[in-house]
Amino acid sequence: MNYWDPEQMRQMTQLWLDMASKLGGTFANVQPGSPPPDAARQMRGAIFQAMSEQLDQFMRSEAFMEGMKESLNRTIQFQKQTQDVFTRMHHATQGVAVQDISAAMSMLRQMEDRLLDRLDELNGRLQKLEEAHAGSNGRGEAKGVHP
């Protein structure tokens, strides 16, 4: 995908060359280590402002966004292909692949969650039984039924 038209590139190059040649005279009499004159400082600010606006405009363009999306999709696809190749190699050598370990860990987490849920349920039932038992003991002792 070509983002730049050759004519646009030529115009952009010419613009930068013209600007550089005009700036050459401005900065010719500036001594190293001394602060630039106000005109140069203002020009530098204007150049940076124009460059940032151009860059921002380009990065928001449909062509740039499509290019980034395509690049990201290709990277993800390459990563998946690489992982598939390594998995096949592990299986071919009767080794254990990362995907196998991930699947086993996922199953263990699910089993752990189910066990914890069941333990919480049993704990709740046990507390209810203890409360009921304590309530019946308290009433029985108050009436003098139990020695």
DSSP annotation of 34:
S
Encoded tokens for 47: 């150049």
Q: Where are the domains of the chain?
A: 98-142
Total H helices, total E strands in the chain: 4, 0
pLDDT value of residue 4: 62
User: Hey, how many other C-beta atoms are within 10 angstroms of the C-beta on 23?
Assistant: 14
Tell me the per-residue pLDDT of 75-106, one tens digit each, with 9 for 90 and over: 999 999 998 888 888 778 877 777 788 889 99
Tell me the per-residue pLDDT of 103-122, one tens digit each, with 9 for 90 and over: 899 999 999 999 999 999 99
Whole-model pTM? Answer: 0.39
Report phi then psi at 93, rounded to 5: -95, 10
- What is the arithmetic mean of pLDDT over 69-80? 94
Task: Kindly list the distances between the CA atom of residue 71 and the CA atoms of 5, 63, 65, 77, 82, in Å, as whole numbers in the listed order.
Answer: 20, 12, 10, 10, 16
